[in-house]
Every structure is written in structure tokens, then in C-alpha cells.
Structure 1
Amino acid sequence: MIASSTLQCLFVALILFLHAVESNNPKSDQDSVGGCSGVPGIPGSPGHNGLPGRDGLKGDDGMKGTKGDRGDKGATGKTGPKGSLGQRGSIGPMGIKGEKGIKGNLGKRGEPGPQGENGTDNSIYWKQCVWKRNDHKDTGLIQECVFKKRHSSTALKVAYAAAMRVYCSTGQCCGRWYITFNGAECSGPMTIEGIVRMSNSRDDPLRHRQIEGLCENIPSGSITVAVHVGNCKGYRSSDRNSGWNSVSRIIIEEYPQSQT
């Protein structure tokens, strides 16, 4: 059925048309009077989609948004392979000394070590030779004393004590008493000796005197220690006496270690 509004429009259009025919000017009438809208036509088929357009210009960056809430902790990942050893760093400064630790338990007793070399005895080994004789020799051997030296690294101390004198009625005279070891004077470090000198005296100066010293670098074994008398350097022979009416003695001591 046709709607009433449509019928009304058709009726008005018919009247206008007839009026125009009578006035022979259909155009002016059509312009002065609006017509009714026609019935809508049937919709056509949709057209094909057009080609995609080009990308538009990049827009400006938007404002930074607010920080979101922290997410939940993720699951622990698998341990990766061990990396290669890095270069050794420089030694750092010495740290503060730590506190003394707790004393540990006593360890097991170790096995006995190899036997060491024989050491030297710290005790002093000595010998004394004594005699009572008025010896008038001006030069030569006065007395010997044999000593058994135990170690080559030790030193020997020798002391000779006796009444000794030189005599000359005119000029000057000098006598030298000295010690030998197996016939040779000491060279480590120097000789052991003593001198008595007189000048233009009719006196007979018999007095008790003593000479002593240490000698090193003497090998171990049997050592003949002897006292001799002789001339001082630059002096001729003179009247000498050793041990007049008194006890003479040689004391020999072996010291465990020499010191310089």
C-alpha cells in the first residue's frame, strides 16, 4: 500500500502539472512550487575496495605515561655454563690483622728424621803441663805439651807463665818468647808471643810473666804445643833465663767456637 503522504504528493503534483499546461509556462511554475520527493530506489551493489593509501606522516611523540606497577618476580633461570678464568688482578693492600684463632688439636707425631751430623761439645776441653826447672837457654826449645784436639772448627787458647828475664851489662838486649803448633807459629790470626827488653842495666830482673793468645785454623788430632825463646828482631843474642826457682806451666784450652 502507498502511504498517505505519498498520495498527497502525487495529487499536488497533478494539480501543478495541469496548471502549467494551461499557462503554457511549466518551468516557472515548477521553480516556484516545490515538488514532493520520489520513492527511494533499490540500493545498488557495493563497489570494490579501493587500493590502500600511502602511509601518513609520522606523528609527534606522545607524552610519557606514568610508571606502571612493578610486575611479579619471574622464575629463576637456569645456571649458564662456567666462564673462562679471567686474568689475575694486582695484589691488594694488606688487610687488618685478624683475631687470634682457637688453638687446634695436637697433630699426630711424625716419623723420626734422619740422623744429623755430630756436633761440637759446648764444654771447654783443656790440659795443663807444669814443670820446675831453671832453664838458661838463650835460644831454642824450652818445653813441649802434647794436646789432642777434638774438632777442626775449634780454636786453641795457649798461656805460658814463668819467670823470664834478659841481661846485658852494656848496650841493649831483648828476648822473645813465642808459641808453636806442630813446629809452626800461629797464623790465624797472628803469632802468640811476648818480649822482655833491658837497656844498660846491671840488674838481674827476674820476674814472673805470662804470654797467652788464641789460635784458629788448626786441624783436629794430636797437636804439639811448644814454648821457644829467641832474639827480638834487630837484636843480638843475650843472657836469658826461663823459670828461675819457680813453677812454669803451659795451659791449653779448646774452645767450642771461635769468634772474631
Structure 2
Amino acid sequence: MAPDGKTLYRLPQMNVATFGAFHLTVGINRGVVWDLGSYRKLYTNSGLRLSLSCGARAKTDSEECCRFFFVINNADCSTPGPIEGVISMNVNSNIHRPILIEGICEGIPAGDVNLSVHVGYCKDQVSIADCHFGHKSYDHVMASEVYAEREIIYF
């Protein structure tokens, strides 16, 4: 029970895998920035929770941005939607920022799941900023299975 009297719910989490890399420095604007390899998902009726903590930047002097996102078995998550983070700057400077990307992907069957982190175009853009992933920091990814009986609400 929370201090305000509301009920707290915790998602059971299991089958945790962590990935780490120090000085992972990738300066590409489209494609794979970190191939995590295979993760063995144990249950079909669980969700796959993914989180990424790293440094990244978007260098541009216009409205361009960099979209960093998880790819699961060579595709974006479709249920409930992509697990992504966007960095946008309207200043042509080389500022690396910490970013955290996290989400749950559902509808993935049990078995070996290929995971990777990509960079690419932001929605409705025809050009992309000068993107950079990782830089003089330790980058982390965590994958785990979770159970969540809930309604997906779209905004």
C-alpha cells in the first residue's frame, strides 16, 4: 500500500538478462548500433521488457533528430508499439546526453529472440541528424519477461 492509501501493483519479473559494453562508440545515422544477440524467452504468454541506458547525441542545425529503438526478430515491436527514444537538437553542437529507453513488447512467442538496438529516421522526416551512440560511458541493456494483465491504452 502506498503512503496515500492507493494500492501498488508490481509486475512479476523473471528470466533477466543483462548486456553491457564500455566505450561502445558508434557514429552511424542508420542501422544497427548494438547487436545484443539471442535471448531465450521462456513463455509465450509473457511480455518482453526491454530497457536501454546509454549516452547518445544528435548533431544538427535544423529540425532533424535521431531515433534510437529496439529491434526484436528483425522488426519493431508492434504490440503495443515501438520501444524507442528520440533525440532532437536545433543547435549544431556535440552534446552527448544520457538516455533511457524502456518498454514492454507483447505477442512474442517463446524461444530464441534476436535483439538489437538501431538508429534511424524519426517519424515524418526525410533527412536525419548526425547521430552518435555511446561515448566514454558504460552502456546497459536489460531484457526480462513480465506478466501484466492490463488494458493497453493508446493516446
TM-score range, shorter chain: 0.7 to 0.9
- Greater relative CO (CA pairs within 8 A, separation 6+): 2
Q: Is residue 2:26 matched to residue 1:135?
A: yes
Could you say which residue in structure 1 is the equivalent of 2:96?
Answer: 206
Question: Percent of pairs identical after alignment?
Answer: 25
Deviation per residue, 1:9-59 (Å, 9 max, x gap): xxxxxxxxxxxxxxxxxxxxxxxxxxxxxxxxxxxxxxxxxxxxxxxxxxx
**Which residue among 109, 115, 118 is the counterpart of 1:219?**
109
Structure 1 contact 165–196 (Cα < 8 Å) conserved: yes
Match of 1:159 in 2: 51
Residue 123 to residue 240, structure 1, CA distance change in 2 (3 Å): closer
Richer in strand (by share): 2
Structure 1 residue ranges, 4+ long, deviating more than 2 angstroms after superposition: none
Residue 124 in structure 1 maps to residue 17 in structure 2: no
- Name the CA shift for 1:123/1:138 in 2 (closer, same or farther; >3 Å): closer
- The 1-side partners of 2:84 and 2:77 are apart by 10
How many angstroms does 1:249 deviate by? 1.6
Gapped regions of structure 1 (runs ≥ 5): 1-121
Partner of 2:143: 252
1:166 is matched by which residue type in structure 2? A
**Structure 2 residue aligned with 1:184, among 55, 72, 75?**
75
SS of the aligned residue for 1:228 comes to strand
Deviation at 1:203, TM superposition (A): 2.3
Q: Which has the higher helix share?
A: 1
Alignment of 1:1-260 (within 5 A): 124-132=14-22, 133-145=24-36, 146-168=38-60, 170-199=61-90, 201-235=91-125, 236-255=127-146, 257-260=147-150
- Contact 2:30–2:118, Cα closer than 8 Å, also in 1: yes
RMSD: 1.4
Q: 2 CA distance for matches of 1:173 and 1:186?
A: 23
- For the residue of structure 1 that corresponds to 2:136, the secondary structure is coil
Q: Is the 8 A contact 2:13 2:144 kept in 1?
A: no
Q: Report the equivalent of 1:18.
A: none
Find the aligned partners of 1:185 and 1:159 in 2 and give their Cα distance. Answer: 14
Shift of 1:195: 0.3
Question: What does the per-residue CA deviation read over 1:117-148, in whole Å, with 9 as the maximum and x for residues that have no partner?
Answer: xxxxx661100111121111111001122210
Q: Which whole-Å deviations, capped at 9, do the CAs of 1:58-108 have from their partners, x for residues lacking one?
A: xxxxxxxxxxxxxxxxxxxxxxxxxxxxxxxxxxxxxxxxxxxxxxxxxxx
* Pairs aligned (count): 136
TM-score normalised per structure 1 = 0.50
Residue 254 of structure 1 aligns to which amino acid in structure 2? E
The CA distance in 2 between the partners of 1:254 and 1:228, in whole Å, is 21
